């Protein structure tokens, strides 16, 4: 674990990458809470039924919200109607993108791939680059110089959240990368985790996305209206709020450079509606510890390992209070590290302690 006063370099092609490898943090063995083998096999069983049900229901709700939004177009009711539509659009895309990326949502591989491609487009995350980015994220969670998905790096939380609300740190970067991928160019960090054999597929996907966006623009011009873009494309920007809220809960404010997901991942209890839109990713510690357990089995997995894990945050509000308190204390003392207490039944944390690191419990 590393949190001294020196400024960290989060680039994947910077010196921290080699430093992590030299310290044995890259692609390392992670701690896992014990689960009986037979029980784990049951939890890892993939099923088509739950994913077909939740996918169809999710898109039916989205279509219904879209119809409501279209009928409200041109009135003041369009503001709440499109906010609802955009929230469902972005949240549905984000969660379906994530679960099918892992290949665990459906038992049938082609179903995972079809929904993954749709979800990737909806949330504006190019399918192939993000697949390899996310694989790296799981193998190197919050390992500086190795994890391409470290959220809200040490920037002030309030300012970062404000910028993320309009997706200025997210989708605008994705649009830039989309343009580069269309002409076969990849940045230095992407070259660190995307296999060369996947370049052609990534280029084709980027060109397909660009073609769809072009057709939406043409539809707007023909209709003389922004409505087509409000239904496809722009919801990724204006409907991102709930995705931001749920995503912030996952890792922000937690220790870097450790090999124990109980330290760097956060499980937060959420209401059934958000859990449905989020496909149970609020059980995020549980998911990182056993990423091959399908989303519909995560509540059961949580019950199996909770005696070995810190108590989950009881609500989103509790999670945000924790994040802001961590960042407040880190501004005063950059060496402060938040470590949640474990229950008496838990095994000790697996730390990677290095000279100059100061531990502190929350």
- Assigned domain for 36 exists: no
- Report the pLDDT averaged over residues 194-215: 93
Q: Is the pLDDT of residue 357 over 50?
A: no
Q: Is the pLDDT of residue 153 over 90?
A: no
- Report the pLDDT averaged over residues 214-242: 94
Q: Is the pLDDT of residue 201 over 90?
A: yes
- The pLDDT assigned to 155 comes to 52
| Confidence band for 285, pLDDT divided at 50, 70 and 90 | very high
31-40, 287-296, 322-331, 344-353: least confidently modelled range = 344-353
| Confidence band for 272, pLDDT divided at 50, 70 and 90 | very high
Q: Is the pLDDT of residue 147 over 60?
A: yes
Number of domains, the chain: 1
% of the chain surpassing 70 pLDDT:
89
| Confidence band for 359, pLDDT divided at 50, 70 and 90 | very low
- The pLDDT assigned to 149 comes to 86
Bridge partners, 313 (sequence order)? 268
| Confidence band for 362, pLDDT divided at 50, 70 and 90 | very low
Residues of the domain holding 196: 15-30+47-339
13-27, 145-159, 280-294: least confidently modelled range = 145-159
- Assigned domain for 74 exists: yes
- Report the pLDDT averaged over residues 288-312: 96
- The pLDDT assigned to 176 comes to 83
- The pLDDT assigned to 172 comes to 66
- Assigned domain for 358 exists: no
More confident of the two residues 360 and 103: 103
pTM: 0.88
- The pLDDT assigned to 358 comes to 39
Q: Is the pLDDT of residue 35 over 60?
A: yes
36-40, 153-157, 190-194, 313-317: least confidently modelled range = 153-157
CA distance 89 to 342: 37
Q: Is the pLDDT of residue 159 over 80?
A: no
- The pLDDT assigned to 270 comes to 95
- Assigned domain for 177 exists: yes
pLDDT 10s digits, 164-199:
444 444 556 778 888 889 988 998 888 888 999 999
- Assigned domain for 357 exists: no
Residues in contact with 321: Cβ distance below 8 Å, sequence separation at least 6, in sequence order: none
Q: Is the pLDDT of residue 157 over 60?
A: no
- The pLDDT assigned to 150 comes to 83
- Report the pLDDT averaged over residues 235-250: 90
- Assigned domain for 313 exists: yes
- Assigned domain for 351 exists: no
- Assigned domain for 66 exists: yes
Q: Are 59 and 92 in contact (CB under 8 A)?
A: yes
156-170, 214-228, 300-314: least confidently modelled range = 156-170
| Confidence band for 9, pLDDT divided at 50, 70 and 90 | confident
Q: Is the pLDDT of residue 202 over 90?
A: yes
| Confidence band for 360, pLDDT divided at 50, 70 and 90 | very low
Residue 18 sits at φ, ψ, to 5 deg, of -65, -40
58-67, 70-79, 160-169, 296-305: least confidently modelled range = 160-169
């Amino acid at each position: 674990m590393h949190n001294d006063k020196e400024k960290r370099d989060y680039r994947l092609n910077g010196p921290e990458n080699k430093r992590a490898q030299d310290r044995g943090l890259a692609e390392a063995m992670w701690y896992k809470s014990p689960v009986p083998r037979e029980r784990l096999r049951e939890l890892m069983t993939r099923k088509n039924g739950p994913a077909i049900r939740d996918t169809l229901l999710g898109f039916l709700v989205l279509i219904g919200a879209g119809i409501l939004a279209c009928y409200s177009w041109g009135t003041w009711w369009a503001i709440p109607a499109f906010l609802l539509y955009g929230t469902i659009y972005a949240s549905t895309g984000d969660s379906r993108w994530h679960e099918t990326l892992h290949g665990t949502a459906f038992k049938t591989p082609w179903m995972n791939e079809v929904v993954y491609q749709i979800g990737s487009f909806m949330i504006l995350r190019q399918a192939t680059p993000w697949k390899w980015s996310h694989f790296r994220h799981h193998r190197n969670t919050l390992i500086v110089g190795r994890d391409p998905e470290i959220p809200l790096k040490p920037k002030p939380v309030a300012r970062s959240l404000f910028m993320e609300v309009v997706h200025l740190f997210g989708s605008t970067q994705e649009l830039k990368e989309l343009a580069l991928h269309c002409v076969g160019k990849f940045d230095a960090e992407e070259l660190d985790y995307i296999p060369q054999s996947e370049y052609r597929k990534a280029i084709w996907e980027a060109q397909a996305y660009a073609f769809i966006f072009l057709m939406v623009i043409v539809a707007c011009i023909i209709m003389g209206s922004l409505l087509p873009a409000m239904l496809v494309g722009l919801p990724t920007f204006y409907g991102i709020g709930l995705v931001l809220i749920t995503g912030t809960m996952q890792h922000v404010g937690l220790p870097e450079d450790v090999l124990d997901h109980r330290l760097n991942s956060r499980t937060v209890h959420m209401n059934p509606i958000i859990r449905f839109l989020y496909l149970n990713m609020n059980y995020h510690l549980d998911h990182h510890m056993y990423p091959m357990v399908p989303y519909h089995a995560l509540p059961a997995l949580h019950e199996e390992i909770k005696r070995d894990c810190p108590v989950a945050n009881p609500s989103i509000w509790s999670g945000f209070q924790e994040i802001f308190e961590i960042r407040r204390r880190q501004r005063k003392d950059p060496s402060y590290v938040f470590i949640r207490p474990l229950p008496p039944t838990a095994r000790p944390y697996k730390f990677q302690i290095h000279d100059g690191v100061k531990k502190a419990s929350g």
